[in-house]
Amino acid sequence: MEIYDQYRNLPQTARGAAIAMGNFDGVHMGHRKVIDSARAAARRLDAPLGVAVFNPHPKQFFAPSAPAEQVQSDAARARLLQELGVDILYRLPFERSMSLMDDRAFVRDVLVDGLGVRHVSVGADFHYGRNRVGDAQSLRAFGEEYGFDVAIVDLYGEQGEKYSSTAVRRALKEGDVHTAAHILGRPWSVEGLVLRGAQRGRTIGVPTANLALGDYVRPRFGVYAGHARIDGKGPALPGVINVGKRPTVDGAEERLEIHLFDFAGDLYGRTLEVTLEHFLRDEKKFDSLDALKAQIARDMKQARALLHNTAKVDRTG
């Protein structure tokens, strides 16, 4: 997959694509419908399949001090798009000049003169241009004027639920990881380098790997069951996960900690992708480390059972 961080002076091979356009944070099931629409057009037109996203997200541009609340890292998004067969990823630089473009200027300067698009697929709620003046219908009208096709894709599932990154964030903040996974089409995950912590877990026989939450949306603080893949290789290993501030040890920094079952090895400096698959309980402050250790033992037992039962259902279902 080719990646371009601009829309001007592109090589000829990067122009003339059929593109899906949006922010695609999380690449959820609605996003996949938009990409599938662009894929069908790419095949019909014998054109490359492209995805155009805004970098940074317009909300971050207009409110840089607000929490980013990303569902997915940019790197993970790019990998997933590549796995979906996307040929070209355009990371359109959302800077002051683009923020001031009206809808016509955006279509003319970015889509036509810049990318030379032959087709654009967007979600039905897509907006663009200064003050979000443009919508999917106006894009279709501009397409007729400038000579490219436009497909408007609904973002609803078979049960009438709307797929959206906002719905994923809302579900995660409620600890509803099953709804988040349904919208995403996979369990939600956090990816990052393993950091050195205070190593308190080792003192109570439960060593943990620590990840910073960075720009990720903050899920409901508490304990989860899930898996981790090390450096993107090998099997996903089961474990019990805490997300939060660790109030029993007076923690202040928000982080994710995972204890991998039946694993022995040094993980410092390695990359983990951790999935949250079952919510067990809220984070709480215990009166002592012994009380915390006893609760962790119960958490581990519950997590093992949930993950075992889920794997058994996956094998038989």
Domain-wise residue ranges, the chain: 2-153, 176-316
Q: What is the C-alpha end-to-end distance of the chain, expressed in Å?
A: 34
144 is catalytic: no
**Domains 2-153 and 176-316 belong to one CATH topology:** no
Question: Mean pLDDT across the stretch 214-229?
Answer: 97
pLDDT at 314 over 70: no
**pLDDT > 90 fraction of the chain, expressed in percent and rounded:** 80
- Structural class in CATH, domain 176-316: mainly beta
pLDDT at 200 over 70: no
Topology classification of domain 2-153: Rossmann fold (3.40.50)
Q: Is the pTM value of this prediction over 0.85? A: yes
If you average pLDDT over each of 165-179, 262-276, 302-316, which comes out highest? 165-179
| Residue 317 confidence (pLDDT) | 57
Catalytic residue among 69, 257, 273, 277: 257
pLDDT digits (tens, 9 = 90+) for 156-199: 988 888 999 999 999 999 999 999 999 999 999 999 999 976 55
Measured CA to CA in angstroms, residue 274 lies from 69, 257, 270, 303 at distances of 17, 10, 13, 14
Contact between 73 and 191 (Cβ < 8 Å): yes
Question: Mean pLDDT across the stretch 232-259?
Answer: 88
Question: Mean pLDDT across the stretch 36-54?
Answer: 98
| Residue 205 confidence (pLDDT) | 77
Nearest partner of 53 among 81, 92, 102, 7, judged by Cα: 92
| Residue 158 confidence (pLDDT) | 84
Tell me how far apart the alpha carbons of residues 240 and 242 are, in angstroms, rounded to a whole number.
7
pLDDT digits (tens, 9 = 90+) for 87-145: 999 999 999 999 999 999 999 999 999 999 999 999 999 999 999 999 999 999 999 99
pLDDT at 232 over 60: yes
Question: Mean pLDDT across the stretch 274-280?
Answer: 98
